[in-house]
Amino acid sequence: MNDMAKNLILWLVIAAVLLTVFNNFSVDTAPQTMNYSQFVEQVQNQQVRSVTIDGYTISGERTDGSQFQTIRPAAEDPKLMDDLLANDVTVVGKEPEQQSLWTRLLIASFPILLILGIFMFFMRQMQGGGTGKGGPMSFGKSKAKLLSQDQIKTTFSDVAGCDEAKEEVEELVDFLRDPTKFQRLGGTIPRGVLMVGPPGTGKTLLAKSIAGEAKVPFFSISGSDFVEMFVGVGASRVRDMFEQAKKQAPCIIFIDEIDAVGRSRGAGMGGGNDEREQTLNQLLVEMDGFEANEGIIVIAATNRPDVLDPALLRPGRFDRQVVVALPDVRGREHILNVHLRKVPLADDVKPSLIARGTPGFSGADLANLVNEAALFAARRNKRLVGMDELELAKDKIMMGAERKSMVMTEKEKLNTAYHESGHAIIGLVVPEHDPVYKVTIIPRGRALGVTMFLPEADRYSLSRQQIISQICSLFGGRIAEEMTLGPNGVTTGASNDIKRATELAHNMVAKWGLSDEMGPIMYDEDESHQFLGGPGQGGKLKSGETTTRLDKEVRKIIDGCYAQAKQILEDNRDKLDAMAEALMKYETIDATQLKDIMEGRDPRPPEGWDDPSSGAPSAGDSGSQAAPEAPGQADGDENDDGPRRRPSDPLGGPAGS
């Protein structure tokens, strides 16, 4: 049923309702009603001039001109006619209404026609013939959302931080605009483009910008929209989606999170007859089967290309992979410029400084940073977003929201101050460690305190010395507690530090080949268990003796780093006490104050800080001041029961402390 028919039926229903209402509220003068005995009495008294008999109803006119109506109790009353004629009453008979043959047939057949209509409606829906995509039986219809060329306003100017990926897809735009440019030389454009990259890097935005630049229709659907509990529904939706796309060609089909339907076949239970594999088979046929889909370009996005079926990645299907990686410092600056155009900015905002201080941030993270800064400015009733708000937003995203209402005893605060000071001093002393950016004992997120390290440049790999230095700094908090509280006073605050240090040491030995004892051999299995035994056979390289040697080597690295870190803190005990005292006083200290402490000077107060002893309120946190002039990658440490957001490590292990 199309929209015109639905509108027609709606207006007919409205007209019928209005007609009924008008009839019920009619202002016509109704005749006076009286009982039958009064009627007979008035006839005998010659007060009635004429009557009209219509079955049981008798209506008429009195001699004074008034109208009346009555109901006789029986269909036949022979004496009534004698009385009417004897008293000179004019009698008019009314012929009963007769229904036509067609009316009687329609009334008799209406229930049967209604049942047949309902039956045909449901049969049509079950066969996928309904045009509505939200009907109760329209399982086989595609859920892809169509955006016309007029609805897509996104262009390449809205995409930043992925210049190489944009260059890869620019020829798709040229092909969609002028296919003959390639066809006259015998060239064909890739039928499928697979965009690979971490979440939030702009894969969907880039696909949308292709359609915006080429001015072609854009179908958008998620991989999970194909799969239902009924076998064959996903395949039907794939067929329907490509049928719709053929009508709109040239066009783009964008499938987000294609790994939901494109996983390797044969890896699960139940053979090849499950719903997901049937859907994948249909997708493979539609992309490159007997029937060519000219003018349809399929773009898919995933952050897990390793689990996709090989048949999906072969030439003729997704034969081009575009890597949309995390942006570098220049890309982050361009992304920030795109998002900062949407908010009013103060004169002190420097996107380059923010970009250098946010390594590991994706495009979505940077958009969130700008939005958080705008919210901070709104809470302060400011008209412009300044550098202070952007720094606060960056700290909130990296370290978590401040929990100033959290009640901590002085003993807990002092222990946290020593814990974070231990991390910071080790990070400042050991070689090749990232510079310390900020230390705070204000609870953030799930952490009681945070030590932030910012690398001086984007980091894509780790050296052995860098990993050793990270392990040393991770143990700095626990060692500081042990030095100040004694062995029995050590708290559970270092649980996450111990976990990360152990993972780093284990990866050095078992994954990265950074142990002289174990050699450059990978001892850990990967996710698909493809060592020696082949796919799915769970082949292993570790015997019981090898496992014991691995454990000993990991323990050797941990013990060496622990001893090195302890010696550093013992040699700098005066600086440890001074830093803890500064944290108790200011709650947050930055690189400038850390430099003062390490050089033996009293730390200068943070900018905008008022001494509580003077009676003025304390700012408590220096997080609102501008970042130091040596920004870089943000990282930090925790002193409680859970991890915070941190950039992913290119080597697969956790990012450094």
Q: Which residues sit in the known binding site for Zn(2+)? A: 419, 423, 497
129, β-bridge pairs: none
The catalytic position among 420, 481, 482, 553 is 420
What are the percentages of helix, strand and coil residues in the chain, rounded to 5?
45, 10, 40
Cα–Cα distance between 230 and 363 in angstroms, integer? 38
Tell me if residue 276 falls in helix, strand or coil.
helix
Q: Is 420 a catalytic residue?
A: yes
**362: its two tokens:** 């994706």
- DSSP code string of 567-615: HHHHHTHHHHHHHHHHHHHHSEEEHHHHHHHHTTSPPPPPTT---GGGT
Is residue 265 within 8 A of residue 278, CB to CB? The reply is no
Is residue 360 within 8 A of residue 374, CB to CB? The reply is no
Strands 251-256 and 635-636: unpaired
Beta strands in 281-423 (DSSP E): 296-302, 318-323
Is residue 267 within 8 A of residue 230, CB to CB? The reply is no
Q: Pick from 385, 367, 366, 369: which is nearest to 377 by CA?
A: 385
Cα–Cα distance between 300 and 46 in angstroms, integer? 97
Q: Pick from 410, 363, 414: which is nearest to 582 by CA?
A: 414
Residue linked to tokens 């048949």:
311
Q: Pick out the residues of the known binding site.
A: 197-204, 419, 423, 497
Is residue 202 within 8 A of residue 363, CB to CB? The reply is yes
Q: Pick out the residues of the known binding site for ATP.
A: 197-204
Cα–Cα distance between 73 and 59 in angstroms, integer? 14
Cα–Cα distance between 432 and 437 in angstroms, integer? 15
* Helix and strand totals (H; E) in the chain: 20, 15
Tell me if residue 33 falls in helix, strand or coil.
strand
Cα–Cα distance between 627 and 620 in angstroms, integer? 17
| Active-site residue set | 420
